[in-house]
Every structure is written in C-alpha cells, then in structure tokens.
Structure 1
C-alpha cells in the first residue's frame, strides 16, 4: 500500500499519556473504573471507538455520494468492549456499531448502505476476521 497519510502517536501504557507527533492529541490515559482503575483520563478503547465511528461515518459519506443518497442525518456510534479472551488468553475486543438512520434509510436501503460501508471502511477491513463487529440499526 502506498500511504497517503501516516498518523504517528506515542503512548507509555494505560496510565500515562498518548501524544501525536503533530501535537493535536495530548491526552492523559487512565485505566477505566470497570477494570479497577481511577477512571481518570481516556483509554485505548475510547480512542478506538472514536476512530472507528469517525472512519465508518466518513466511509458512509463516500458511498452515499457515489450512490446519491442523503446521509446528512445519519450518525454512527461505536461501542468497543474489552474482555478476557477465553480461547487464546489475555484480552480481546468486540465492537457494536450503532447506526442512527433517518426514515428514508430504514429497512433495505439502510441495510444495503451499511453493508457497502462495512466492506469499504478501512477500520472494518482491519478488524474483519479479528474481532466481532456487529452493526445495529436504530
């Protein structure tokens, strides 16, 4: 792949900082309360959720432009869960993508658009076959 853009960020663990090379991200990191931490600071799951939601919405905009579909009222919410990986040990991730669709995209038109988007989105491609990703229409 010939990269058109490369993001660079450095982190020093779940209870430290995450900093991008251009300074646009400079965040304290903290272990979530649900995992025994203080909940102070963001965490990798939140960052992944924000990135996936933004990427999926952008991919949908691209598909919609090609297919001449109005998606201005669509919103995508990503829920990223972390839990014990019972088969291989350690931890694993699971994602639920919640698509809030307007009336004109309910039913088959919305499902078709979401399937095309899931096939096109770089985050979806990267996670395919690696983690469970479920799409829910709301």
Structure 2
C-alpha cells in the first residue's frame, strides 16, 4: 500500500475534498499565501508514538530514548472527565520547549546569550470550531509569549528557526497509510 500524502495547513485556507484508497481526506493546497511547503532533505532524529483505546480518552505511548506513557482525557471544558492529559497540552508544552531552544540558539549565535539565560516561553493552544462552517471538525490557534527578552530581532529569528513555528507557517508533509 502506498501512503497517501496530506498537507497540514491552517484552517483559513481553502480546502478541497479528495477521495483516497483509505477513505476521504481533506487536502489543502500546496501553495498557501504564495509559499511552498517546507520539505526536509534528511532527518537527524525521529519520534514514534502509538495511541490506542478510546481516542482522546485512551493511552499514548512513545518508545523513544526515554519511553513515555500517558493516560489521555478530554478536558472538562470539552465535555470530558479531565482526568488525564490532552493533545493540546502536549502540543503547547512541545511548542514552548522548541521555541525556547530556538531563542537560546539565536541569542548564542549573536553572542547575546545573556539576554536568553532567564527567558521563559509561554504557549497557549486553543481548540475550537473553525469560523468557516463548511470545514468539519476542530482547529487550533496558538499564542506564544516570551518573558524576559526584550530583543524583537532575537525573538523574530527564533520564530523563523523554531521547527513548530515553521510547521505551522509553512505546513508539513503528512503521510497517512493503512498497515
């Protein structure tokens, strides 16, 4: 079975529906806002995770360098029990960590590490319904706040280099297949 290729794009983009061998997909255009998708030529690391059970109320496992297993739960605000983690929490944590690393790298390269030593990066991930009623499902909005660094140029360069910022700005290549 050949994997089906999907592009992750912001929900504001125009969509078209494509019927694939494994089902129905929402596919976003390759050239959003005049930019092409960011492709990687190689990889230096990869992570693998498995979700099983009751979706948002199941179990997720990662068998990477340091194995991790979490109980997932739909937040109370979304009608769930809220007795576990949820994807939005994990995404917010990962984004904040990646952005902080990018900011410290940029500051170090500019010989300005002093401005990044005590920086904190706060991220918020909002789950909600798309404004466009023709789009099914949910969408995300992300807000990133940098505390302790007043250098707009360093913050801007960190945003340009952060893998999560790039993924959301340029899109990512997603392959979905049946096994």
Q: TM-score, normalised by structure 1?
A: 0.85
1 CA distance for matches of 2:129 and 2:49? Answer: 26
2:121 to 59, 76, 79: 76
Give the structure 2 partner of residue 64 of structure 1.
Answer: 107
Secondary structure (helix, strand or coil) at the match of 1:128 reads: helix
- Deviation per CA, 1:27-74: give whole Å up to 9, x if none: 000000010001010000000001000000011111111001121110
The structural deviation recorded for 1:86 is 2.5
Give the structure 1 partner of residue 43 of structure 2.
Answer: 3
Secondary structure (helix, strand or coil) at the match of 2:56 reads: coil
2 CA distance for matches of 1:86 and 1:10? Answer: 31
1:18 to 60, 66, 70: 60
Greater RCO (Cα-Cα under 8 Å, separation 6 or more)? 2
1 CA distance for matches of 2:77 and 2:170? Answer: 27
Find the structure with the greater CA-based Rg. Answer: 2
C-alpha spacing 1:124/1:17, structure 2 compared with 1 (3 Å): same
**Structure 1 residue runs of 4 or more that deviate by more than 6 Å after TM superposition:** none
The structural deviation recorded for 1:24 is 2.4
- The structure with the largest helix share of the pair is 1
1:91 to 133, 138, 141: 138
Q: TM-score, normalised by structure 2?
A: 0.66
2 CA distance for matches of 1:96 and 1:52? Answer: 10
Equivalences, count: 124
Give the structure 1 partner of residue 153 of structure 2.
Answer: 112
2:168 to 120, 127, 133: 127
Give unpaired runs (5+ residues) of structure 1: 131-138
